[in-house]
Structure 1
Amino acid sequence: MDQTALAEGAEAEFMYLYQSGAPSSVRTELGVTTTRIGGGVALSMRDDPTNFWSKALGFGFEEPVTHALVDRILDFYRGEGSDGATLQIAPSVLPSNWDDIRTRHHLREGGRIVKLWCPIDVFSPGATDLRVGPVTPEDAREWASVVLRGFGMPEKGIAEMLVAGVEHPSTRPFAAWDGDRMVAGANLFLHGEVGSLNTGATLPEYRNRGAQSALLAIRAKEAANAGCRWLVAETGQPAEGQVNPSLNNMIRSGLRPLYTRQNWLWRPDAAPSSNGET
């Protein structure tokens, strides 16, 4: 079992699901286009107000990462008129000449993502004084709003994109409530034997009350009920001397760092056109 391939594949598929499944009106409004290249996915949101959703990931398993593969990925973004994109490639599949490839394509370092993993039977549930439970279709719009506000993202268009994924058979959205008020949300994506814990965010005024830990626990239980053997999650690596509470919560729950992945940032004004070099 290649844990890295499974972890990267799950993330690529839930990101592809979100954007490819967006309503046509949202895809037009935000300029969303998706494609599959070399075993990975490339997702373009031309009018993304967050600079988050245009990303390419899941590469290096079906075919190797080469100059030519990166050419094909960036040609897609050029063709869509994208003003930038993030390439996310697991460190274990980066080729020995990666420095040459990234230099030629003017890819610069961005943030770093910690990918975490554990067998589902070693996961330790957390607790909270908040009520947690599944999100119904009637709750979907509020859930999307809470998640996006928790991440500090605008709702216009993007909320409708998240709502469209709520009823997909591979997704299981959950939320936490303080009384009747929804204050945190998260999603579980089922991908074979892997349960991907993603899209978790809490409103600022409700942080440090255990919402994330409880949402991790309820999603882990749902993944086990669905037959998953493994859990995978990701979060940002904190800067030196700083702390990421989300990362600490995941580790306390039993998830363990699998690897740290560098974001590689591309901008069209810094990148030359393709010449097909391999």
Structure 2
Amino acid sequence: MRAWQLSQQLCQLFALVGMMSLRRLRYLSDQDSILGQSQPLVMQQQYGYHQTMNDEPDLSRLARTIGDPTRIQMLALLMEGRALTAKELAYGTDIKPATATAHLRQLVDDKLLDMTSQGRHKYFRLASPEVARLIESLMVFAPKRQRTGPANNNDAICTARFCYDHLAGKLGTRLTEVLLERGLLQTDDGTFLLSEQGETWFEDFGIDTRQLQKSRRQFAYPCLDWSERRDHLAGALGATLAKRMVELGWLTRSKHSRVVGITPEGRSALAEQFGIALHHE
């Protein structure tokens, strides 16, 4: 998926939101006319004292920020959960470092990125898992591009990749399906709940779920996968499960890609313990 396609889709999405809001306001205005009321279209009391509609979240600013092709590329590069320097992001987006700095400042100002300093270097990462969830969700709406070159890279990222810090692609969705089928996880109003059997299983797997549930981060929830169009496991539990599989030597991180490598040991373990067979390195 190209950056310009994603930015175009985002702009279309925000335009749709704006049209829906405008239609709602026009409807209210028409109702007032029919009833012979002369009250203002949106009263101050609806938004609190000294508040107006301008105090609502500024969706147009967010659309402008993410809709820029360079900035959406930067966000995509950071989707694997690692922190990168301005120089690395400039190289990855094929722009000059000075230009990259201006784009990064905008992303930090709009709370999409966090910046930390170490010595002479400044490192940038996604501000939260929610930002990654936003980008992944937009990828679901973005049109698929036609292949013009080797299919290997595209197949690899669709088979197994990191979505911020949890597993996505065929591997992520299949794992989630197995956890649900075995009753280790249960769905509940847009989130995942851990069963007693699941708590025991994750503990045996080396994951302290009770400690995870005490963290400020949302414990477990479904994240719609852009390539599979099905849910994969996100949240603190999804991130820790991915980390544990890396620690066990089942999976490996790519240095400059979101693609997840699956080791021979990992292939055997995934097949034996989860009944999952994947066919790429």
Q: Tell me if both proteins adopt one fold, taking TM over 0.5 as the criterion.
A: no
Larger Rg: 2
Which has a greater percent of helix?
A: 2
Relative contact order, higher structure (CA 8 A, sep 6+) = 1
> TM-score normalized by structure 1?
0.28
